[in-house]
Amino acid sequence: MVEVTALTKEEAEHCPVRSVLTRVTGKWQMLILLALEGDELRFGALKRKIGDVTQRMLTENLRTLERDGHLTRTVHAGPPLAVSYALTPQGLSLVGVLKPLVFWAAEHFDAIDASRVKVDAAKA
């Protein structure tokens, strides 16, 4: 079994599992990983594919994901300058456990939304 709770404050801050999870469950990381599943994309293409993400956030998150070994950054000599990003085997494997979560969210959204409406109505 993997323990992620029942930790002291010190243990929690150094918890390996939490350190991995906090870096893939942010607002953009998951979207980036999913966007790269299947194809290697250049910076601009990736930005367009995600749609709503600023250059700054995309760059920052790509660096973090690269540092953790989830993707690779390849510079193709220019001009024009081109940089492409692709999932590593590890990143692909990560996407494999991320997708079920996304599918789950899609499947259960109706029920969740109904719950929200119901709860909000009850306390209103």
Report the distance separating Cα 2 and Cα 21, nearest Å: 13
Token reading at 105: 């969210």
Pick the stretch among 31-39, 78-86, 94-102, 111-119 that binds DNA (CB under 7 A). 78-86
Q: Which residue has the tokens 């939490």?
A: 18
What gap in Å lies between CA 63 and CA 111, rounded to an integer?
A: 36
Per-residue interface string for the shown chain with a second copy, residues 42-61, x marking contact by CB under 8 A: ------xxxxx---------
Say which entry of a second copy, DNA, none residue 108 contacts (CB below 5 to 8 A, set by partner kind): a second copy
Site for DNA in 9-48 (CB under 7 A): 26-28, 42-45
β-strand partners of 84? 42, 74
Give the position of tokens 């194809």. 39
**Type of residue numbered 5:** T
Which of 54, 50, 56, 44 shows the shortest CA–CA distance to 31? 50
Q: Which of 15, 40, 50, 84 binds DNA (CB under 7 A)?
A: 84
| Cβ 82 vs Cβ 42: under 8 Å | yes
Shortest Cβ distance from residue 118 to a second copy (Å)? Answer: 8
Exactly one of 2, 77, 121, 124 binds a second copy (CB under 8 A); that residue is 2
Q: Does 86 bind DNA (CB under 7 A)?
A: no
Under the rule (CB under 7 A), what is the footprint of DNA? 26-28, 42-45, 52-57, 59, 61-63, 73, 80-84
